[in-house]
Amino acid sequence: MQNQPFFVTAALGFEPLLAAELIELGASEVKEERAGVSFVGELSIAYKVCLWSRLASRVLLPLAIFPALDTDQLYAEVQKIDWAEHLSVARTFAVDCTTVRSQINHTRYGALRVKDAIVDQFRARSGERPSISVEQPDLRINLHLFKDQATLSIDLSGDSLHRRGYRIDGVHAPLKENLAAAILIRGGWPEIAATGGALVDPMCGSGTLPLEAGLMATDTAPGLLRDYFGFFGWQQFDDALWQRLREEALLRQHDGLKRRLAPIVGYDSDSRAIKAAWQHAQNAGLEKIIHFEKRTLREFSAPVGFAPGLLVANPPYGERLGEEHELPPLYNLLGEQMANKCVGWKAAVITSNPQLGRSIGLRAGKINTLYNGALKCQLLQFVLDEKNRWQSLAAGAGRAVKKELSPGAEMFANRLRKNLKKFEKWANRERIDCYRLYDADLPEYAVAVDLYGDEVHLQEYRAPKDIDPKKAAQRLQDVQDALPQVLDISSDKIHLKIRQQQKGKQQYEKQARRGILKEVQEGNCKFLVNLTDYLDTGLFLDHRPARQLIQNMAHGSRFLNLFAYTGSATVHALVGGAMETTTVDMSRTYLEWARKNIALNDFDPDDEELIQTDCLVWIDGVQSERAAAFDLIFLDPPTFSNSKSMDSSFDVQRDHVGLLRKVAKLLSPGGTLIFSNNLRNFKLDADALPELQIESLTDKTIPLDFARHPRIHNCWLIRHHS
């Protein structure tokens, strides 16, 4: 049988695990891609993936790849396929559509045009047409548009493969079955089960983790219970091949169920969850393999008399309002039970809240990133040996040691608490975990406090010469005493910098050489920051609304980011659907940082144009070549710079008119330039630029956390007069 290309979709973070699984199933030319893995193989391999994959979401068979700049071209290309080879007029079909950075940006309309092309072809040939069925069509067709390139595929799975078939309808399942499988594989369960180790889940809910562990331990194909696959209604479905593969799987399951296995146990304090878990086990044919029992976490015990096993848990993450503050004791109790009752075991605990993960009170030897839907989670893996000592929250594990604060420190702490109350709900609502908490609000305490998740970037403004150095030092000590207590962090999470007027490139010079990058969230974007090595962290927090504006305007655009720093504006443009991006900066370090930021947000930096050069030189050199080439430009020059393009230097006040005139030539008709700078007394000379339409955006781009010092930056929206 002829080899064909296939694409298997999966959740983010699954790609390396899925690639290894596909190789084991016999796939060749396996390649990890964004949110999935491609491979080449015979049709039998695709059937095997549908039957045996514990990690995949869908299996797609590409029929055609073609450009689709508009829906008319899409319609014409779809009509070139002979649909009678794939679909009978008596059967039903449905079309799914995804679109990324393409002119066709409406998924329902894209799907509708594919449907029209198929229906019109059948009607023209026979006068009849197949019907549409959204829920469970005989044939499901997938259209994926990326940068105006269409891939049209048959969805051989028909429905997401995480739906094994054992779950009761209506039972809430916060953990998808394929995520549970990924947790178990990362935790080493297949190897532990093979050597006679047990498994216990002390907070099992409706039993997903123990059930998936049971399927693995008994060598049961996860697709055996399903009564629907997308290839059943495909005209080229090979029923004999499918039946042969299914019979082989049934034989393997039969042998697996006869094995002598160590216990697989699930406990939960909710009797309704335990009842559902037992029903799921019965549906899966695992009721004799798995034991479920109502038991609180304090009543937890691990199976004894077996080889070291695996404790696995999916505790609550604190997503509901107010719950987060109630959960640290629960996590700490989980850690205590792990340490005391599972000595010699391994453990895998998943959470979306790193602070709660630290409340376990044990050292995680390995941390993996997995996604529970759109929720980014950490899988914490522990070796529960005598070296990994549990720490009680009551003893201050992972928390600040309380000390008596001076009157000044208490005053500063009270202001911090007030600000935290003001900003915390806003930041959670906006999905922001890095923001300015305090900015010299009290004249005596001239510092800026920026939160970056569970760490603090503390900047001390250089005290005036008339302030007693001893008094200034004491005030800084007050700040450092108050921060750990108010924010409930240890002092090593506070990174101090001295902020003073910078000259030339001083703000970009290294302060240290640790090179540790921390991931932070800004709405629907992620960035890497460095809290130790530079005066600035790699992310200008005050530009957050300007970046969001870029994202809102970027769809379908050609975007240019000048003086790009670490590429955060480029990331927002990509997330907003920019067709092309060009990122220009002089620093190799910052451009490499930009590449990492782009990759972190699941875009391929090799698809984007990143240019390391002096921006002013580059602008001069592309005046003809790139004239009218960009639809959206972000220009954020330094206040002062030495540049090869000028006899002396660049001064933003002195030279902005010439710079704006040159950059405006790179704008397409109707394009937009967003111009920003940080010179507090800057005056834009609009009279010298009569050809440009200039609108101030400064007030609109000052975020809530910088509103008390709104002169942090200046910003304008600039277009050509129509």
SS3 sequence of 174-222: CCCHHHHHHHHHHCCHHHHHHCCEEEEECCCCCCHHHHHHHHHHCCCCC
Residues 6+ apart with CB under 8 A from 347: 187, 310, 311, 312, 313, 338, 381, 382, 384
Spatial CA neighbour of 609 closest among 617, 618, 67, 600 = 618
Q: Compute the distance between CA of residue 676 and CA of residue 712 in angstroms, rounded to an integer.
A: 11
Spatial CA neighbour of 225 closest among 260, 255, 249, 259 = 249
Backbone φ/ψ region at 714: left (φ over 0), alpha (ψ -120 to 50), beta:
beta
Residues 47-101 have pLDDT tens digits of: 999 999 999 999 999 999 999 999 999 999 999 999 999 999 999 999 999 998 8
Spatial CA neighbour of 495 closest among 467, 551, 453 = 453
Spatial CA neighbour of 722 closest among 669, 675, 667 = 669
Residues 6+ apart with CB under 8 A from 624: none
Going by the DSSP 8-state scheme, the letter that residue 510 receives in this structure is B
Give the model's confidence band at 636: pLDDT under 50 very low, under 70 low, under 90 confident, else very high: very high
Structure tokens at 550: 């870029």
Give the fold, CATH level 3, of 177-222+256-395: Rossmann fold (3.40.50)
Instruction: Please tell me the predicted confidence (pLDDT) of residue 403.
Output: 64
Residues 6+ apart with CB under 8 A from 651: 639, 640
Spatial CA neighbour of 454 closest among 427, 495, 489 = 489
State in words which class domain 518-720 has: alpha beta
Structure tokens at 629: 């080439």
Question: Which tops the pLDDT comparison, 377 or 396?
Answer: 377
H helix count then E strand count, the chain: 18, 30
For tokens 């330094």, the residue is: 638
Within 10 angstroms of residue 366's Cβ, the number of other Cβ atoms is 12
Using a pLDDT cut of 90, give the percent of the chain over it: 77
Instruction: Please tell me the predicted confidence (pLDDT) of residue 416.
Output: 96
Q: Compute the distance between CA of residue 640 and CA of residue 28 in angstroms, rounded to an integer.
A: 55
Write phi, then psi, for 603 (nearest 5 degrees).
Answer: -115, 155
The string of DSSP letters for 386-439 reads TTS----GGGTTTSPPP-PPPHHHHHHHHHHHHHHHHHHHHHHHHTB-EEEEEE
Instruction: Please tell me the predicted confidence (pLDDT) of residue 323.
Output: 53
Question: Which tops the pLDDT comparison, 618 or 399?
Answer: 618
Mean pLDDT over all residues of the chain?
Answer: 91
Residue type, 318: G
Residues 6+ apart with CB under 8 A from 415: 438, 441, 442, 445
Enumerate the domain spans of the chain.
4-155, 177-222+256-395, 407-500, 518-720
Average pLDDT over residues 128-146: 94
Reduced to 3 states (helix: H, G, I; strand: E, B; else coil), residue 291 is strand
Q: Compute the distance between CA of residue 543 and CA of residue 522 in angstroms, rounded to an integer.
A: 11
Alpha carbon 530 to chain centroid, angstroms: 19
Q: Three-state secondary structure along 654-704?
A: HHHHHHHHHHHCCEEEEEEEEEEECCCCCCCCHHHCCCEEEEECCHHHCCH
The string of DSSP letters for 337-404 reads HHHHH-TT-EEEEEES-HHHHHTT-S--SEEEEEEETTEEEEEEEEE-STTS----GGGTTTSPPP-P
Reduced to 3 states (helix: H, G, I; strand: E, B; else coil), residue 466 is coil
Instruction: Please tell me the predicted confidence (pLDDT) of residue 509.
Output: 42
Residues 200-251 have pLDDT tens digits of: 999 999 999 999 999 999 999 999 999 999 999 999 999 999 999 999 999 9
Asked if 198 and 262 touch (Cβ cutoff 8 Å), the reply is yes
CATH fold match for the domains 4-155 and 407-500: no
For tokens 């973070």, the residue is: 13
Structure tokens at 42: 């015979």
Within 10 angstroms of residue 376's Cβ, the number of other Cβ atoms is 15
Question: Which tops the pLDDT comparison, 327 or 696?
Answer: 696
For tokens 């050809």, the residue is: 691
Report whether pLDDT(698) > 70: yes
Instruction: Please tell me the predicted confidence (pLDDT) of residue 552.
Output: 96
Architecture of domain 407-500: 2-Layer Sandwich (3.30)
Q: Compute the distance between CA of residue 152 and CA of residue 192 in angstroms, rounded to an integer.
A: 41
Average pLDDT over residues 31-52: 95
Instruction: Please tell me the predicted confidence (pLDDT) of residue 353.
Output: 84
Give the model's confidence band at 702: pLDDT under 50 very low, under 70 low, under 90 confident, else very high: very high
Write phi, then psi, for 431 (nearest 5 degrees).
Answer: 60, 50
Average pLDDT over residues 489-508: 64
Question: Is 683 buried (19+), middle (13-18) or exposed (0-12) by CB count in 10 A?
Answer: exposed
Residues 6+ apart with CB under 8 A from 230: 139, 140, 154, 155, 156, 157, 158, 159
Instruction: Please tell me the predicted confidence (pLDDT) of residue 502.
Output: 43
State in words which class domain 4-155 has: alpha beta
Q: Compute the distance between CA of residue 486 and CA of residue 458 in angstroms, rounded to an integer.
A: 14
Give the model's confidence band at 324: pLDDT under 50 very low, under 70 low, under 90 confident, else very high: low
Report whether pLDDT(678) > 60: yes
CA dihedral of 69, 73, 75, 79, whole degrees rounded to 10: -130
